[in-house]
Amino acid sequence: MAKSRLQKKASGQVNKSKRSGLKSIVAIIVLFLMMGGMGIALYCWRLSVGIEERFSGRRWRIPSRVYSDVTILYPGQKINRVHLHAKLKNLGYCQVVQKPNISGEIRINDSDIEIFLKDFKIAEKGRPAYPLKIQFNGKEIESMVRMDTGEQVPILEIEPEELMLFFGAEREQRRLVSIRQIPDHLIHAVLAIEDNRFYRHPGVDPIGLVRALWTNIRSGAIRQGGSTITQQLAKNYFLTPDRTFSRKIKELLIAVTIEVFYKKEDILEIYLNEIYFGQKGSVSVNGIGEAADFYFGKTADRLAPEESAALAGLIKAPNRYSPFQDAGLCRVRRNMVLKAMLKEGWLSEQNFAELSSLPVRTSTYRTYGKTAPYFIDYVNKQVSLLYSPESLSSLGLAIYTTLDTQVQSAAEEALKKGLEKLERQNPRLRRSSKMKRLQGGILVMHPKTGAILAMVGGRDYNESQFNRIDQARRQPGSTIKPFVYLSALDDLMPTSLLSNEPKVYEINGKSWEPKNYKPMAEKELSMRKALAYSVNVATVDLAMKTGLERVVRTLEEFHFTTTLKPYPSVALGSFEVVPMELARAYCAFAADGIQPFPLSLRDVVDEKGEVLKRRYMTVSQLVHPAKAYLINSMLQSAVLYGTGRSLKGFGIDFPVAGKTGTTNDYKDAWFVGYTPEVLALVWVGFDNSDSIGLTGADAALPIWADLIKNIPQHVSESWFRIPEGIVERLVCSRSGDLGREGICPETEKETFLTNLAPDRLCRLHRQGFSKGMPEEQKEGN
Amino acid sequence: MKKGFRIFFLVFFLIAGSACSRRVIRTASDGGESKLPPSELKSESELHESAPLQQATPMQVASLQLTEQARRYLEKKDLESAIRILERAITLHPGNGENYYLLADAWALKKNIEQAMEFNRLAEMYLKQDRTWMERIEAQRRYIQQKR
């Protein structure tokens, strides 16, 4: 009894100790679990801080984009159809054979274009998408009619073209979209193919994992991934692509943490803006917004259901399923997505049948390339004063400029063709080294507003980034003469006679004798003819009569940054100027005496459409309009019968004012020409100042003509209005006095300033007097 | 009260300007009447009078469309949009003084007196031969000067 009690006691002690041991083990396990749980909770809390930091701050670095100006079209407008088609192609309009029925499609016919315009907005202003027919009559737009309403469209704005992106080191292109802008069919397509239980799991989907595992075991290969959208986001956004166990655990923990702290809609929005959708050249296409634009040329909210399905299909292997790579494979994959949507009940049988039968119709393939590189460099100089490189590569700003891409293309082509032709016709101009090749530059401006429409700073940007329009300093030669003649207009008239007799001038103790390019018999000639024929000797005579100080003062008023000295050779352009300054100075003539400030940047807009900066047309009156008109009139003579007369032979048969320029030893060839609407400067020469042996009329003028013929939309073919302060008189061609009709052998109409017009009848010709005998008597009008 | 009166004054001239401009076929810069004495040889006035009554070119018609758009923006006090559109209108028809007149209005409302005066001067330059326009331009100048 005692023994059994003892045994019982002993066994009770053993049981007790066993129980306490078990309890301890359990306690330890619980403790470890609790500690582990706390550790995981703490780790997740730490992760949540990181996630919060990433999600609350700027989630992505969005490169800022530089855009061209909008293009205006209107009935009656002359147009270069080749350039217009190229522009529409660059804008991603997709050519179709049937009538365009979705935004971004275009059908080009012989005499018309049917286009379903894309909508666009700049700073909350823009134009909605609608179908339009542009009817052409030869090279003119005959009419523009909306195909949906039959309404006539009197004026149309075509959206700006993307010229360049300010990339950061990662070279990612992305357009952010809000979940509210994303159509349901796109969300359904993505969920159907990537994570159909997205709204039912807490970030990790055990059912999905088991299903994926089973599928993979059955097929003997990895067919299905078990990652949820949240896991994919965690992987893309926070982790490296390493395939390690610890990284997978971390991915699960981040996914669960994200689900705890964020709503499903937020997660989906971030995911859709984050994912990789393929390559555009060297640049990666990220996010649904950029993908919608790249593949279908439209914003995400305007995607059609079959396009949404195609994009959702890309997520798995963007480059393999890219419609640009293999349209057939893309279609197979898209139909797989459509089938998944059907299975989830997000698509009806009928819709599935309709959509899966459609081909994949993409936008035109566009690689990333820097358009108008010299102009972009010029704009960058201004933009970089406003924003740091870091801001430009991350803030996603839209920078709108004045560039007209059609004019830019015409200018680039004209310079390329022109220089090649010169080399072909003049073998001495060829160089073996590309760096030493014949160079050129073109600047096209709107004279009244100062807007830069095109800038070509050299023959090939890849060879040389030196901008010969903005950075070079070259002697302007005779292109400076109009400013010299302008300074004389207070005292001299277009009929005033200038001496053309050789003369030696003393400069700093040295003799200098100006020479004409060709020997001339005339000992004196009128101011108009001296400028039209660009006569050096007569021009120096005019400068000396006017006073060199006054000539220099005039030039300084035109904002040339060169320090000028009052030497007689100033009148022949012996100092150096920046070509852009020369073009700007000429604008004052073309703009009725108003000099604009060159304008290249228009608006800087942030991601939300808020305007951050605006640049406006800034002008100042520099020359009296009547004097500007007189110079225009004299420069028209230069084109009609002077040094620029070959222009007509190139098909320029409308009124133009222009001036050629050739410097000493033929180092530089210039032509500056303009109408009231457009001004273009062309320079040709070698960077090392080798002689080209050609005049401005031979080398630069043909390039100018080629350019202007190709931008008919900027030329109205009308002449300048006659301003107040101008009178017209019939004058004797020989004396410059008022002509005696029927007596003077040759008379012509001449334009004068009202306060400086001839007031006496011809002294050379008078009835009863022998021809050529001067009449001393002054006769009033 | 004073500000309200000025705005009323400005809007009045805008509407008046708009009413006049719609009736003319030729653009506001095509020239107009002059009292200069006639002469055997062409005087300044004859030059303007003899200038053919040009039919507006398609470019000018498009520009006038933009001018109308800008006027509507101005009426809605959307000055930024008005200025942008007017700058475009000028590129198509640099000789239409009405665009400068409206730009002067916009800049005056933006309280940039220098710009407003500059464009007022330009409007005068292009519309000098039109007495009705000149009255409006002078009234605008007085209005801008009051804002100084």
pLDDT tens, A456-477? Answer: 999 999 889 999 999 999 999 9
Calculate the CA A92 to chain-centre distance: 15
pLDDT of residue A204: 85
Note whether A674 and A644 are within 8 A (CB). Answer: no
Structure tokens at A372: 């108008």
* pLDDT band (50, 70, 90) for residue B20: very low
pLDDT of residue A767: 66
H or E stretch covering A727: strand A726-732
pLDDT of residue A3: 57
- The answer to whether residue A194 is catalytic is yes
Report chain B residues touching chain A, CB-CB < 8 A: 29-31, 39, 41-44, 47-48, 51, 54, 57-62, 65-66, 80-81, 83-84, 87-88, 90-92, 94-95, 115, 118, 121-122, 125-126, 128-129
Q: Output the CA–CA distances (angstroms, integers) from residue A216 to A205, B99, B127, in the order listed.
A: 16, 72, 82
Q: Is the pLDDT of residue B34 over 80?
A: no
| A142-151, A207-216, A225-234: range with lowest mean pLDDT | A207-216
pLDDT of residue A119: 87
Mean pLDDT value across residues A485-493: 97
pLDDT of residue A448: 95
Structure tokens at A194: 């990537």
CB contact under 8 A, A722 and B47: yes
Mean pLDDT value across residues A420-435: 94
* pLDDT band (50, 70, 90) for residue A29: confident
| A353-357, A645-649, A695-699, A715-719: range with lowest mean pLDDT | A715-719
Mean pLDDT value across residues A635-658: 96
Mean pLDDT value across residues A632-657: 96
pLDDT of residue A240: 65
pLDDT of residue A607: 84
Complex-level ipTM beyond the 0.90 threshold: no
The residue count for chain A: 781
pLDDT of residue A225: 64
Q: Is the pLDDT of residue A404 over 60?
A: yes
Q: Where are the domains of chain A?
A: 1-57, 75-154, 172-357, 373-473+580-621+635-712, 477-575, 725-781
Mean pLDDT value across residues A437-462: 96
pLDDT of residue A243: 62
Maximum average pLDDT range among A364-368, A562-566, A597-601:
A597-601
pTM: 0.80
pLDDT of residue A751: 96
Mutating which of A74, A400, A678 best tests the B interface, going by the most B Cβ atoms within 10 A? Answer: A74
| A202-206, A488-492, A596-600, B53-57: range with lowest mean pLDDT | B53-57
* pLDDT band (50, 70, 90) for residue A33: confident
Q: What is the CA radius of gyration of chain B?
A: 16
| A717 min Cα distance to partner chain B (Å) | 9
pLDDT of residue A776: 38
- The answer to whether residue A140 is catalytic is no
Q: What is A477-575's CATH number?
A: 3.40.710.10
| A106 min Cα distance to partner chain B (Å) | 24
Catalytic residue selected from A64, A68, A227, A478: A478
Contacts of B59 in chain A (CB under 8 A): 74, 76-77, 677, 716
CATH 3.10.450.630 fits A373-473+580-621+635-712, yes or no: no
Q: What does pLDDT average to over chain A?
A: 89
In this predicted model, what pLDDT tens digit does every residue of A60-94 receive, in sequence order?
778 899 999 999 999 999 999 999 999 998 898 88
CB contact under 8 A, A449 and B43: no
Quick one: CA dihedral A164, A169, A172, A175, positive or negative?
negative
Quick one: CA dihedral B117, B123, B125, B129, positive or negative?
negative
| A116-125, A234-243, A438-447, A529-538: range with lowest mean pLDDT | A234-243
Which is higher by pLDDT, A180 or A772?
A: A180
Strands A156-158 and A71-73, by their bridges, are antiparallel
Q: Is the pLDDT of residue A218 over 90?
A: no
In this predicted model, what pLDDT tens digit does every residue of A273-294 receive, in sequence order?
888 999 887 778 989 999 998 8
Burial A416-429 (b: 16+ CB within 10 A, else e): eebbeebeeeeeeb
Q: Is the pLDDT of residue A215 over 80?
A: no
Mean pLDDT value across residues A6-15: 66
Q: Is the pLDDT of residue A446 over 50?
A: yes
Q: Tokens 């393939």 correspond to what residue?
A: A365
Return the CATH number of A172-357, one of 1.20.58.1030, 3.40.50.300, 2.60.120.620, 1.10.3810.10: 1.10.3810.10
Which is higher by pLDDT, A172 or A698?
A: A698
% chain B with pLDDT above 70: 64
Please state, in angstroms and rounded to a whole number, the distance separating the CA atoms of residues A676 and A591: 7
In this predicted model, what pLDDT tens digit does every residue of A600-642 receive, in sequence order?
999 999 988 899 999 999 988 999 999 999 999 999 999 999 9
Pick from A65, A260, A88, A320: nearest CA to A176: A65
Q: What is B2-19+60-147's CATH number?
A: 1.25.40.10
% chain A with pLDDT above 70: 93
Two domains, one topology: A373-473+580-621+635-712 and A477-575: yes
Burial A667-681 (b: 16+ CB within 10 A, else e): bbbbbbbbbbbbbbb
Q: Is the pLDDT of residue A780 over 70?
A: no
CATH 3.30.2060.10 fits A75-154, yes or no: yes
Catalytic residue selected from A194, A290, A306, A581: A194
% chain A with pLDDT above 90: 62
CB contact under 8 A, A449 and B91: yes
Q: Is the pLDDT of residue A730 over 70?
A: yes
CB contact under 8 A, B80 and A618: no
